[in-house]
Structure 1
């Protein structure tokens, strides 16, 4: 599993932008927007996932205040994520991992075997700094548990301060 201090696994995947456009997103090409919050969630249009993404939406200003960029990541198609973003007025990009490459790279795969659903993302949050290093990691084995949003905000604040100090 990816841990604090590790290099964040690089990836390229489709991203649904705020305006609904779908474009290619490569992590290493977007480190200028760091700290990056990578918020993995099992599936769009489900209870806790919707609550989590809407909470990030409602608290986005707190992340933007320190120069952080938030991305939600799930196995849903870009078209599903576009509809999900539109329906819930999400104001940050959503990354589609239909091939499950990111779930594998970050080692956050889980199954709902009793429902016959396999290979979805665990609810997880990683903060990646401008050097591509993971500075915060939270992974839950319980899909009904949301992240500690204040801890994620603090992690982005610390990553931003560290970047500022290194630049000085």
Structure 2
């Protein structure tokens, strides 16, 4: 797994932003630090709560000059429907090939449900040099990040 101080793995992926665009991390960080909030799946209760909470704190992140992106294995079309249903004002990165969850080593399974290779719930702050300045990962999909810690981490980046 990537850790604080590591170079963040670069990626290019579909971006669900109300439309479908493309994002490359190395281009995104050129505009300032980025928060990558990995989540297991759209339209699930804890993921909805987590992303709504991040959306509620979007102004605090923006005030620190940080862009926020959710990352899941869902298609960008499902992510756009999810963004609309939940009312999110930030974009979601689609990792249907699981390349990003592999690169960040945040893959998990819900074996009992027969669902494999989802993103763990994880948050990384990536600075303009593509260095990880904050990392939080849990193996428990029912646990949300400490949002105050994330906001403090971006204020320090």
> What TM-score range do you get, normalising by the shorter chain?
over 0.9
Q: How far 1:32 sits from its partner (Å)?
A: 2.3
- Distance in 2 separating the partners of 1:137 and 1:33: 20
- Distance in 1 separating the partners of 2:112 and 2:29: 39
SS in 1 for 2:55: helix
The CA deviation string for residues 60-105 of structure 1, in whole angstroms up to 9 with x for no partner, is 0110111111000000000000000011110101000000000000
The CA deviation string for residues 122-164 of structure 1, in whole angstroms up to 9 with x for no partner, is 00000000110000000000000000000000111100xxxxx
- TM-score when normalising by structure 1: 0.92
SS in 2 for 1:32: helix
Among 122, 132, 135, the residue aligned to 1:137: 135
Report the structure number with the largest CA radius of gyration.
1
Residue correspondence of structure 1 range 1-168 to structure 2 within 5 A: 1-17=1-17, 20-159=18-157
SS in 2 for 1:3: coil
Q: How far 1:33 sits from its partner (Å)?
A: 2.7
- TM-score when normalising by structure 2: 0.99
Structure 1 unmatched ranges of 5 or more: 160-168
SS in 2 for 1:84: helix
Structure 2 unmatched ranges of 5 or more: none
- Distance in 1 separating the partners of 2:156 and 2:31: 15
The CA deviation string for residues 2-21 of structure 1, in whole angstroms up to 9 with x for no partner, is 0000000000000011xx11
Q: Which 4+ stretches in 1 moved above 4 angstroms? A: none
